[in-house]
Amino acid sequence: LRRENVDWREDAKKRAALEAVKHVREGFVVGLGSGTTVAYAIQEIGKRIKREGLQVLGVPTSHQALMLAVNHSIPITTLDEHPKLDLTIDGADQIDRDLNLIKGMGGALMREKIVASAAKQFVIVADKTKLVEKLGTSQPIPLEVLPFALSTVIARIKELGGKPVLREGNRKIGPVVTDNGNFILDVEFESVDALDKLDVALKLIPGVLETGLFMSMADVVYLGKSDGVMRLERK
């Protein structure tokens, strides 16, 4: 039964990714998000380059996205060369009906937010289990934190009513170190009502480099289901 569940979700993620890649047009500079869902989109962009001779450039949001782009022969560029992107495709950990997001379970949230904010259009790909009524209830908010400031940030978050947990490495002793050399705090809040205000309050803490709250940023969300893809658009 568990295997069926996994297969269902992988198919759904792939279906959502294929829809998103239809947004990619000739000459586009595309932000390449991180995670297992957007990996299918990167693969599909590579296929279109081979099949159609499509000319595009990618701006990866992580080492993972960079290596995927290289492996699928997507030419890479930087924000310095292209500070304005035509499109960014990325995954998400939670999505609400207003298309606000929590991101960062892959630890790439800071570059992801920078690349998303540089794009004219920000398209999200996920399976439908990521859609929730209320963000942050069964999901902590990841923060990228300067290691020097870890203890002061933890104290300030507790004052705001949050429960911060330093993300530990998997097959590594000690904390996860991001692609930018920083730490990740996963923060749970008991009541999470005004998320936009919380986002500002968190960012005002010196040493908090970025939050995983992506408020009013996504334009379109594709949610893969077992039998198709649901499209949500920001009003």
Q: What residue ranges bind ligand 5RP (CB under 6 A)?
A: 33-37, 90-93, 103-109, 112
Burial class (CB in 10 A: 0-12, 13-18, 19+), 80: exposed
Q: Residues 4, 26, 81, 112: which is the catalytic one?
A: 112
Backbone angles phi, psi at 193, to 5 degrees: -90, -65
Please give the sequence-ordered ranges of beta strands (E in DSSP) within 128-215, or none if there are none. 141-145, 162-166, 183-189, 208-211, 213-214
Inter-CA distances, 157 with 21, 61, 162, 196, 232, Å: 38, 27, 5, 16, 33
- In terms of CB distance, is 12 or 74 closer to ligand 5RP? 12
Judge whether 112 counts as a catalytic residue.
Answer: yes
CB of 165 to ligand 5RP, least distance (A): 16
Instruction: Taking the CA atoms of 41, 42, 47 and 49 in sequence, report the sign of the dihedral they define.
Output: positive
Distance in Å, CB of 106 to ligand 5RP, minimum? 3
Q: Of 31 and 91, which has the nearer Cβ to ligand 5RP?
A: 91
Helices (H), 34-121: 36-52, 63-71, 109-117
> Please, which residue, 96 or 112, has the CB nearer to ligand 5RP?
112
d(C-alpha 33, C-alpha 116), whole Å: 9
Minimal distance, residue 221 CB to ligand 5RP, in Å: 12
Q: How far is the CB of 112 from ligand 5RP (least distance, A)?
A: 6
Kind of pairing between the strands at 213-214 and 101-102: antiparallel
Nearer to ligand 5RP, 44 or 112 (CB): 112
Q: Which is nearer to ligand 5RP, 54 or 176 (CB)?
A: 176
Residue 2 CB, shortest distance to ligand 5RP, in Å, is: 17
Q: Beta-strand (E) ranges in 85-190?
A: 85-90, 94-95, 101-102, 119-127, 141-145, 162-166, 183-189
Question: Which residues are the active-site residues?
Answer: 112
